[in-house]
Amino acid sequence: MRAIVQRVSRASVTVEEQKIASINKGVLILLGIEDSDSKEDIDWLSRKIANLRIFNDSEGVMNKSLLDILGDAIVVSQFTLFAATKKGNRPSYIKAARPEVAIPKYKTFIAALELNLGKKVGTGVFGADMKVDLLNDGPVTIIMDTKNKE
């Protein structure tokens, strides 16, 4: 499971000209899922994101988590996070889980994040053509991979 976590001042997701999710201060999470992702991957990633200290304290030091600031989150599925670009110029997405595998894991991740945050999170629509608008704050962008926990 791969995630791009962006600290945002605001973010929204629009599908077919309908805004379906919108937040102010918080995180936008782009989430890629592969077949081998497990419940342990989901639990680790959701817990880590909720507790990631990427928000400034009163001294201007990134010392506060999403939980500390009572921030919001939007989760957007993004199979392109598993793009393989080694050969040629057209990326291969063979490592990305197919919808029948990815959708249940995506929903489980959302539920786990909601449990960790104690609130609902916004979402995109799996497989839809989405327009994601955000104001990256910092900018702060963190890349996370459950198979390479650095």
The answer, yes or no, to whether residue 6 has pLDDT greater than 80, is yes
Position 146 scores a pLDDT of 96
Print the domain residue range for 17. 2-144
SS (H, E, C) the chain: CEEEEEEEEEEEEEECCEEEEEECCEEEEEEECECCCCHHHHHHHHHHHHHCCCEECCCCCEEECHHHHCCEEEEEECHHHHCECCCCCCCECCCECCHHHHHHHHHHHHHHHHHHHCCCCEECCCCCCEEEEEEEEEEEEEEEECCCCC
Query: 120: how many CB neighbours lie within 10 A of its CB?
Result: 12
Using alpha carbons, select from 109, 85, 141, 118 the residue that is nearest to residue 31.
109
Position 37 scores a pLDDT of 96
Q: pLDDT tens digits, residue range 68-95?
A: 999 999 999 999 999 999 888 999 999 9
CATH number at residue 23: 3.50.80.10
Domain count, the chain: 1
* 149 lies in some domain: no
Q: pLDDT tens digits, residue range 17-55?
A: 999 999 999 999 999 999 999 999 999 999 999 999 999
Residue keyed to tokens 């102010």: 24
Does the pTM surpass 0.85? The reply is yes
Using alpha carbons, select from 15, 10, 40 the residue that is nearest to residue 28.
10
* The two structure tokens encoding residue 14: 């629009």
* 150 lies in some domain: no
Position 150 scores a pLDDT of 75
* 76 lies in some domain: yes
* 50 lies in some domain: yes
Q: pLDDT tens digits, residue range 95-149?
A: 999 999 999 999 999 999 999 999 999 999 998 999 999 999 999 999 999 998 8
* 40 lies in some domain: yes
Catalytic residues: 80
